[in-house]
Amino acid sequence: MIGRLKGTLVSKQPPWLIVDVGGVGYELQAPMSTLFDLPETGREVALFTHYAVKEDTVALYGFLRESERALFRNLQRVTGIGAKIALAVLSGASVDEFARLVHAGDIAALTRIPGIGKKTAERIVVELRDRVAADALSMPGIGLDGAVSKDPQAEATVALQQLGYKPAEVARLVKESAQPGDSAETIIRKALKLALR
């Protein structure tokens, strides 16, 4: 089992990133909460990991904070939630914000996260109300200060679609969120906040 990786960040293409550890490139999926706070490529990074083995696949997930990994694992204990939805939850809300939604029983806000319907949201509230309190330890990060890509709106569009948002919803979110000079990370962050309103 792989619990932590420390190495050089080679690539980040939401939701994927590659970390070189001693000449071996580990490909991981990460939530936007982690991707926002990663250093620029070529810099050293340390990630908590979750190693998942299924019948036909092996996957590695990376998190900057232990609280994110704990929530990712707790979410998958809820019936009907797999890794993809757990990543979408962490991409759409910080650990603290998610804990507040669960404790408030805010079903409406939870159903705005891709892949979560009313019944799943209700199960989350019932099954995780006690568990998320222990995991809500960190405040959301301030985000990346990386360079603006050649087409940040296109990059943000692809990332949001990979998180499970429908193309029409993505187009609306990007249009309402993007400002001249915004990086892809900034547009994604604004879009995810807008989606939860």
Interval 106-136: pLDDT, tens: 899 888 888 888 999 999 988 887 776 544 4
Please report the DSSP string for 14-41 in residue order. Answer: TTEEEEEETTEEEEEE--HHHHHH---T
What integer best gives the mean pLDDT of the chain? 83
Identify the sign of the CA torsion 128, 165, 153, 156: positive
The label of the residue with tokens 């568990």 reads 131
Residues 81 and 94: their CA atoms lie apart, in Å, by: 18
Digit-coded pLDDT (tens) for 8-25: 999 998 889 999 999 999
- Full-model pTM: 0.67
- Provide the domain limits for residue 8: 4-63
Q: Is the pLDDT of residue 146 over 60?
A: no
> What torsion, rounded to 10 degrees, do the Cα atoms 88, 93, 95, 96 define?
-160
pLDDT exceeds 60 at position 171: yes
Based on the structure, what is the number of domains in the chain?
3
Residue 74 lies in a domain: yes
53 in a structural domain = yes
The 3-state DSSP class for residue 56 equals: coil
Do 77 and 125 belong to one domain?
yes
